[in-house]
Structure 1
């Protein structure tokens, strides 16, 4: 009974995302509410990321043959993202014990990732998606309005400085659980960047999927 209840919760949270379409949108949405994430049961797409050292690597090679939890976040400048990463630390050992590789992906350029890694002393891997390749491929990329960019600058948060790019693209904060065949088994995509997946829910979803 408990497992059925947890699965119902998982399905409930899966639906908290943008407009759905038959095919995931691989372009850039006009805003966060219009993103079209790839679907559960689809294969994780090919996309080039960069390591902290600046080396290019395909996300398929990062997760090849492994169960993985992919966490897309906006950047180290985002307080909600930092809170999410802090909460993730509380369950990372359990996720690793379940056999999952944890991969965190942000729009920060490689050199900015080092600060995040040092701050949280993570046991998982950080990758840069500053070109927005992965965010586009997963259907979660959107263009940030100029008004919001200026608002961030007023709080000393500079998207162009952190990403090294002028595309003004961000990912809708998302979590994808992928099996060892590269198939997406769970996803949480919420256009409201202030609401992140509860760490307990993520852990329970991982337990069901393992």
Structure 2
């Protein structure tokens, strides 16, 4: 199994070659500004209690965290920005590679984004995902987990140039998105693993998730 970090580095090399340097500099500056704000300090962290929620899946069926914890020993929550984000797609594919092992360890994986259920369904099909992809309308749950930020004004026209339509994907125009975050939650709703980063190119390594679950069996 290839490491996610290696796949990300490979993508970044291609990105640097095809995207004008002035745009890259604007994007890097926006990420640095987010880091300087230290938004992740407000997010739920290790040993915090997870917030309950009920969200629609890709076929508009309700999925409830408490019910998932009744049926499984662990729940893995992965907050991602959307199908338009290449880093998110790399991450979702990497998590798909460990999903069978998670199931064997009685861990339920769900991915959460502010996208509409229709777009979530497209995300599942595009990435051939076998786990639930949930729609967090208006980032309601992501806000409760302390993950939400507003996409910088200077990035919005750049994203448009890339053909990214966040307003259409989320069916609202706030440009609010979740920071990349992954949580492992046990039956007591305690967070036993937490990864949060203002840098959208930084993601949790799937093997870390498996290791944490193995240690807590």
User: Which TM-score bucket, shorter chain as reference?
Assistant: 0.7 to 0.9
Which residue pairs with 1:52 in the alignment?
A: 58
Which residue pairs with 2:87 in the alignment?
A: 80
Which residue pairs with 1:70 in the alignment?
A: 77
Q: TM-score, normalised by structure 1?
A: 0.79
Determine the C-alpha separation between the residues in 2 that align with 1:64 and 1:172.
28
Which residue pairs with 1:37 in the alignment?
A: 43
Is the aligned partner of 1:125 residue 2:132?
yes
Which residue pairs with 1:174 in the alignment?
A: 181
Determine the C-alpha separation between the residues in 2 that align with 1:165 and 1:58.
24
Tell me how large the CA RMSD over aligned residues is.
1.9
Q: 1:154 to 1:83 in 2, by over 3 A?
A: same
Which residue pairs with 2:99 in the alignment?
A: 92
Residue 122 of structure 1 deviates from its aligned partner by 2.0
Determine the C-alpha separation between the residues in 1 that align with 2:162 and 2:171.
18
Which residue pairs with 2:11 in the alignment?
A: none
Determine the C-alpha separation between the residues in 2 that align with 1:161 and 1:144.
15
Where does 1:1-210 land on structure 2 (aligned, <5 Å)?
A: 31=34, 33-35=38-40, 36-55=42-61, 58-64=64-70, 66=72, 67-210=74-217
Q: TM-score, normalised by structure 2?
A: 0.76
Q: Secondary structure at the match of 2:198?
A: coil
Q: CA offsets per residue over residues 32-65 of structure 1, 9 Å max, x none? A: 6323111322221134422223355554444445
Q: Is the 8 A contact 2:58 2:134 kept in 1?
A: yes
Q: CA offsets per residue over residues 135-158 of structure 1, 9 Å max, x none? A: 101111111112112211110001
Structure with larger RCO (C-alpha < 8 A, sep 6+): 1
Q: 1:96 to 1:70 in 2, by over 3 A?
A: same
Residue 178 of structure 1 deviates from its aligned partner by 0.3
Aligned residues: 181
